[in-house]
Amino acid sequence: MILTVTLNPAIDVSYPLDELKCDTVNRVVDVTKTPGGKGLNVSRVLNDFGETVKATGCIGGESGDFIINHLPDSILSRFYKISGDTRTCIAILHEGNQTEILEKGPLLSVDEIDGFTHHFKYLLNDVDVVTLSGSLPAGMPDDYYQKLIGIANLNGKKTVLDCSGNALEAVLKGDSKPTVIKPNLEELSQLLGKEMTKDFDALKEVLQDKLFDGIEWIIVSLGADGVFAKHKDTFYNVDIPKIKIVSAVGSGDSTVAGIASGLANDEDDRALLTKANVLGMLNAQEKTTGHVNMANYDKLYQSIKIKEV
């Protein structure tokens, strides 16, 4: 079983417009509301893929109830209730662009943070892999993911971390290391304080920096150009085919789902990387975020090319 953690979930609201007009009224006909947050996207893709998945995080108010009520019944909801209201995130789709308005979310008390920590420990009993995705809610310290990873490690669970900024830095500088991190080039550049490109020699060099010591897998997203990955002392370039993209939103989360599935099933390097990239591409071919159509899986699987570099 795979446990997905979304500490700062949201209701994602999508407003499609032919044109966004500022300083006037914009009327929207086709409004879409879905449970949002990176970890919930991971949950839905794992569910589509047929994995047994348990979802947790901090939710509150009517928005929190909406999330529970609108997840597929086959996803085991094990959320922790807090006093504040779960946030709303708005995406305005206009003229081929996407403008986002993101609420910060509720402020958690010390007691609520401690309560979730105990809740997390309890949920680990029957899981093999834990995914930790997205931003931390207000009130949680930057090193909170570090704390959860430490607990998971003590219980022999594999962890996949997908976050950025101070939370990622705290993990890299801490004592408890995740099994996998999945930065993109922008996040990697931010971490290292220098601009990173798709130059493989440069990527090989920086991924051997002692900042990443103790992390078994580093999987760097190159967007439409695939992935550059390091597993222990072996480096891989994953080349993906060109596809028609409907929406790339959530494709990184779908890749995380594939990584978690590969770890849970003890797959070899090539199988894990192939599955992860295929799920990312399948999500990009769908209008709905965090959804994959498995009818196209085998065809895309055969088109992935992986080589050691």
* Regions in the chain scoring below 50 on pLDDT: none
* Parent domain of 79: 2-308
Give the pLDDT confidence score for residue 160 in this predicted structure: 99
Give the pLDDT confidence score for residue 245 in this predicted structure: 87
- For residue 129, which of 233, 52, 228 has the smallest C-alpha distance? 52
Q: What is the pTM of this model?
A: 0.94
Residue 186 sits in a domain of what CATH number?
Answer: 3.40.1190.20
Give the pLDDT confidence score for residue 54 in this predicted structure: 98
How many separate domains does the chain show?
A: 1
Give the pLDDT confidence score for residue 247 in this predicted structure: 83
Give the pLDDT confidence score for residue 46 in this predicted structure: 98
Active site residue 253: yes
CA dihedral 178, 182, 184, 185 (to 10 degrees): 60
Q: Which of 12, 48, 162, 253 is catalytic?
A: 253
